[in-house]
Amino acid sequence: MAFIEISNLSKSFGEVVAVDAVTMKIAEGSFTSFLGPSGCGKTTLLRMLAGLEEPDAGEIIVGGKTIFSSSQMISTSAKDRRMGLVFQSYALWPHMKVFDNIAYGLKVKEAPRQDIEERIDSLLAMMKMEGLEGRYPSELSGGQQQRVSVARMLAVEPQILLMDEPLSNLDAKLRLGMRAELKRIHRETGITVIYVTHDQVEAFGLSTCVAVMNEGRIQQVDSPANIYSRPQNLFVAGFIGTPHVNLMPGKVANGENRKIEMVGGFDLTFPKGPTLRDSQEVIVAVRPEDLKIRKGRGGRDGVEYLVDGILMSGPDLLLNLKRKASILLARVGRNFPLSEGDKVYVDFNPSECNIYDRKTGNILLA
Amino acid sequence: MEEIPTIAKLARFLRIKLSQPRIFLGIILLIPLTYLIIAPIISLITGASSFQLVDIFRLPGVKVGEFTLYHWGKVLSNRAIFTRPLLNTLLIGIGVAGVTMILGCMIAWLVSRTDMLLKGPISILATLPYILPSWALALPWIEMFRNTGMGIGVGFLEYATGLKAPPWLVFGPLPVIIVLGLHYFPFVFIMVSSALRNVSSELEEAGELLGAGRLKIFRTITFPIVMPALLSAAILAFSRAVGSFGTPSLLGIPGRFTVLSILIKSLMDKNRQSESYILAIILISICAVVFYLNNRVIGTRKSFETMGGKGIRKHLVPLGKLRTPVCGAVIVFFVVTILFPLGLLVWTSFMSNAGDYSISNFSLQYWIGVADPADPTYITGYPGVFRHHMFFTSLKNTILISVVGAAITAFMGMLVGYVLVRGRGKRLSSLIEQLSFVPIMIPSIAFGATYISLFGVSRGPIPALYGTLAIMILVVVGKQIPYASRTGISAMYQPSKELEEAAEVVGAGWLKRFRQIIWPLTRVGFSAGFLIVFITTTRELSLFIMLVTARTSILTTLTFSYAEMGVRQLSYALMTTLVMLTLSFTGIYKLYERHSAKSLMEKGIL
């Protein structure tokens, strides 16, 4: 049985549906990220787990115990849920020193003074913040405040640690360091982490499991690798990856043989998979780095494209390719000898692309 | 899934809802808000529309409490107690609003938009009048212009120049409007100058670049942006002026000029409660209509007030050659209208015989003299302020009412602030918000009348409170809730909601969260609310004049009673004391404000 079970959880604010019948399971000890554009309902979902927002409907079960159920009118209050929440703003109490911020939860539980001190010493050591317990939050750097806010939540030994975009207020360099720190803390404590972010690099780097959300719904729950290479629908395919995926409209020429004709001039035949409907409208999705670019035709097939623009991104070059009305984005090594106006031949492996139904947006072949 | 009985479901539902402090406190707050604001208004209306005990003797056969429109007919058909006072009241209200708008705007513009000299001291002088009791300047007005031609003794003008001021200058609508206008113009000054400060001169320069002339820029850009603030301030001045009692009584009655506030009090004194209540209702209605129109006219445009912040650049209008003369004129104006009158008030309180302002007439009789005929300093039969047992009783009562009233009000203001900030947009919060802002619309004198109507007789378990300090404290709480709520709301915006939520997820119950997280971070707001209510209460007269008795006498009512009797030096000495007290309390408040802002900034909270 899964550790956390969410079923049909919904929440509206007035007319706006923030979370729409979300159902998912989360394994114990996992690091799960809710990933989605802003306003997709990920923070609301997190706050409902924490007990800070009351769902309109649905159920939440943690470790076999129902902590929220609209049908049974059960709603355990936030203070009794044994979850920690790290806020985007850190929400450190400005009138308390670092020590008192971390000790607060333990004091509330009336832990003995001795235990509190030992616990805080070990937490400060884990956070590499020894000697800073006498400072006020305003005397700390952003990264240090962040660590205090994590330590404050870990102090009460929660079952689950929730994090709401905890790194978004840090500058880029610090963010990278803190990412590694969070991963280490997760490893050392073995706690179940649920993490909200709109930054896919962050979600992929940290998580064992990613849940992509849009418009209040879960789009796909999977490992980072699968989310990237096998998006289950067009939204996930388009949302994940920078630069974004190439989406090429096409039509099924022969359903039985899975032969597809594409507007961009390609013809594809998939060796295996279910039978497609003849003349079904589809979308073929290929990641820019999966497009093979050659300067000469050579002996192989390939569709001729014009290099319309070259953008240097650092490690590699991003190419804007053009052929009549169809435009492709490709990615090649930064030493690839090319200049704007060149002709190139484009090709890709059917096993590295995904086919979606144009109407429903759902995946047909992968 | 197991079936749950409806009752258990309801109980769970209530428990979930009430475990949110916003909802729990909101429901708790409804009780005092209803009791202190809505119930008095209802009882005022029922009291106005039913027979009272006194009516039994005049009208045989009627029963006490029976519904009737008898009093309404009587009042509305009477020119002397309805039509004329109503028109006079409107005259005063409009006149005062006009004076405050002209004075306030001129000084606000000079201070915030020109390179006038001495802006700092002038800003302080321009807020000074509001710190004083509203009728503080009425006393020196009379002292200045009274003359033997009117048979009321020599005043300073006659003493110094031999000129006799015409009666219309001494008593009547003109002096009432001037004195109240001088008291309330700081409203307009403060609100308009802060609005002007928020108008980036870039907005005006943009107009200039597009070819608009100065006048056109003022008419189409500056004025529309400042207008909402100006209108709100003028309406506040209007509603305060029509509800004020002290100045119209002292400067109006001797000139046979009556307004509704005077009649509300005098009808009550004559035991004609229902008629007094009816006039109070009319007064409240006038203010309600004015506030409603204000909302309708400026409504959404109020948001201009909050505009700006960063990137505001000021281009000051150079006064050129006029720089010094303008500054001099403003200072002379304040000296003539405020400083000199206050000086005259203090000076006269040291005169042995009224009307003789020479040094040789100097005496401490009205400060420390005793009322003992055997005493050689005995003159009038009135002891000096500091020998007057009523002074100490009144001082004690003033402090007691102000401290207790301010503490309760400020605490309630914090709770209202919490419920409003946490439950923005929720129905319960909107209800509390509307309730707690109702008293702004009710003029003080009428608010006092509502309390007599509710607490004058015993109702249920609550005994009649008339003549107790309790009713005086309650009326403070009821009337000042809007102001305390305002500070409460801004205090509660300071700590983000997440600070409380962080405590909640680590297991703190709501009492703990209040004590350990919210209170330490909002305490400053409580102190600010406390001091604001405390200061306004110490100088308040109109609110208490209907409720006060000899036993519950306070400084303002004591001073007023001597002023009304015409005991010149004693009333001036008392007023001097009152002015000193309010000035020093305000000074303490300003110091505290600066200190707390500093300490908060040091801790990084602000």
Q: Which residues of B touch A (CB under 8 A)?
A: 1-2, 4, 8-9, 12-13, 16, 19, 495-496, 498-499, 501-509, 512, 516-517, 520-521, 603-605
For residue B483, the distance in angstroms to the closest alpha carbon of chain A comes to 27
- By DSSP bridging, strand A192-197 and strand A353-357 are unpaired
Q: Give Cα separations from B246 to B235, B261, B347, B440, B476 (angstroms).
A: 20, 9, 22, 19, 18
A311-364 per-position pLDDT tens digit: 988 889 999 999 888 899 999 998 888 889 999 999 888 888 899 999 999 998
What DSSP character marks residue A265?
S
Q: Which residues of A touch B507 (CB under 8 A)?
A: 79-80, 105, 108-109, 156
Residue type, A25: K
Q: How many CA atoms lie within 13 A of A124 on its CB side?
A: 19
pLDDT above 60 for B232: yes
The percent of residues in chain B predicted with pLDDT above 90, rounded, is: 53
Q: Which residues of A touch B19 (CB under 8 A)?
A: 77
A214-242 per-position pLDDT tens digit: 999 999 999 999 999 999 999 999 999 88
For residue B127, the distance in angstroms to the closest alpha carbon of chain A comes to 34
**Size (chain B), residues:** 606
Higher pLDDT among residues A42 and B602, named by residue: A42
Domains of chain B: 19-38+383-498+505-606 (1.10.3720.10), 79-307+317-323 (1.10.3720.10)
Reported as a pLDDT band with limits 50, 70 and 90, residue B301 is low
A123 touches chain B (CB under 8 A): no
**Predicted local distance difference test score (pLDDT) of residue B303:** 45
B154-175 per-position pLDDT tens digit: 899 999 998 999 999 999 999 9
Residue type, B379: I
Q: Which residues of B touch A139 (CB under 8 A)?
A: 604
List the single residue in B with minimal CA-CA distance to A102.
B506
Contact A95 B520 (CB under 8 A): yes
Here the ipTM equals 0.84
A58 touches chain B (CB under 8 A): no
- Mind spelling out the 3-state secondary structure of B226-279? HHHHHHHHHHHHHHHHHHCCHHHHHHHHHHCCCCHHHHHHHHHHCCCHHHHHHH
pLDDT above 60 for B304: no
Q: Share the mean pLDDT of chain B.
A: 88
B531-576 per-position pLDDT tens digit: 889 999 999 999 999 999 989 999 999 999 999 988 888 999 999 9
What's the CA gap between B518 and A77, in Å, rounded? Answer: 19
**ω before A243 within 30° of 0 (cis)?**
yes
- Which residue in the set A74, A77, A158 is minimally distant from B19, CB to CB? A77
Q: Which residues of A touch B517 (CB under 8 A)?
A: 93
CATH node for A246-365? 2.40.50.140
Are A91 and A67 spatial neighbours (Cβ–Cβ below 8 Å)?
no
Are A76 and A51 spatial neighbours (Cβ–Cβ below 8 Å)?
yes
Mean pLDDT of B275-293: 93
A321 SS3 class: strand
**Predicted local distance difference test score (pLDDT) of residue A158:** 92
Contact A139 B512 (CB under 8 A): no
Expressed in angstroms, the distance from the first to the final Cα of chain A is: 29
Are A223 and A240 spatial neighbours (Cβ–Cβ below 8 Å)?
no
Contact B502 A93 (CB under 8 A): yes
Contact A91 B1 (CB under 8 A): no
Range name among A280-294, B206-220, B334-348 with the lowest pLDDT average: B206-220
List the single residue in B with minimal CA-CA distance to A81.
B505
A152 touches chain B (CB under 8 A): yes
Q: How many CB atoms lie within 10 A of CB B293?
A: 12
**Predicted local distance difference test score (pLDDT) of residue B176:** 97
Domain boundaries, chain A: 4-238, 246-365
Q: Which residues of A touch B512 (CB under 8 A)?
A: 108
Range name among A42-51, A243-252, B10-19 with the lowest pLDDT average: B10-19
The model carries a pTM of 0.85
Higher pLDDT among residues A266 and B417, named by residue: B417
**Predicted local distance difference test score (pLDDT) of residue B380:** 62
- Mind spelling out the 3-state secondary structure of B369-411? CCCCCCCCCCCCCCCCHHHCHHHHHHHHHHHHHHHHHHHHHHH
- Which residue in the set B16, B504, B603 is minimally distant from A94, CB to CB? B603
Triad B484, B488, B489: Cα angle to 5°:
120
Are A10 and A176 spatial neighbours (Cβ–Cβ below 8 Å)?
no
Q: Share the mean pLDDT of chain A.
A: 91
Reported as a pLDDT band with limits 50, 70 and 90, residue A300 is low
pLDDT above 60 for B300: no
Contact B508 A104 (CB under 8 A): yes
A122-132 per-position pLDDT tens digit: 999 988 899 99
Residues of chain A numbered 205-264 and touching chain B (CB < 8 Å): none
Contact B509 A79 (CB under 8 A): yes
B79-120 per-position pLDDT tens digit: 888 999 999 999 999 999 999 999 999 999 899 888 888 988
A144-190 per-position pLDDT tens digit: 999 999 999 999 999 999 999 999 888 888 888 889 989 999 999 99
Which stretches of B321-382 are DSSP H helices?
Answer: 323-334, 340-349, 365-368
A39 SS3 class: coil
List the single residue in A with minimal CA-CA distance to B517.
A93
Give one DSSP letter per residue of B459-516, joined into a string.
BTTBPP-TTSHHHHHHHHHHHHHHHHHHHHHHHHHSS-HHHHHHHHHTT--HHHHIII
What's the CA gap between A120 and A132, in Å, rounded? Answer: 11
B490-525 per-position pLDDT tens digit: 889 888 899 999 999 999 988 999 999 999 888 888
Which residue, B132, B243, B134, B244, is CA-closest to B179? B134
Reported as a pLDDT band with limits 50, 70 and 90, residue A257 is confident
Domain A4-238 has CATH 3.40.50.300: yes
Are B233 and B187 spatial neighbours (Cβ–Cβ below 8 Å)?
yes
pLDDT above 50 for A94: yes
Residue type, B431: L
**Predicted local distance difference test score (pLDDT) of residue B525:** 86
pLDDT above 80 for B207: no
Contact B16 A73 (CB under 8 A): yes
B8 SS3 class: helix
What's the CA gap between B559 and B582, in Å, rounded? Answer: 14
Task: Judge whether A4-238 and A246-365 match in fold.
Answer: no
What's the CA gap between B501 and B513, in Å, rounded? Answer: 9
Contact A74 B12 (CB under 8 A): yes
Instruction: Name A86's bridge partners.
Output: A163
What's the CA gap between A227 and A220, in Å, rounded? Answer: 7
- Mind spelling out the 3-state secondary structure of B75-114? HHCCHHHHHHHHHHHHHHHHHHHHHHHHHHHHHHHHHHHE
What DSSP character marks residue A6?
E
- Which residue in the set A52, A75, A136 is minimally distant from B504, CB to CB? A52
Contact A93 B517 (CB under 8 A): yes
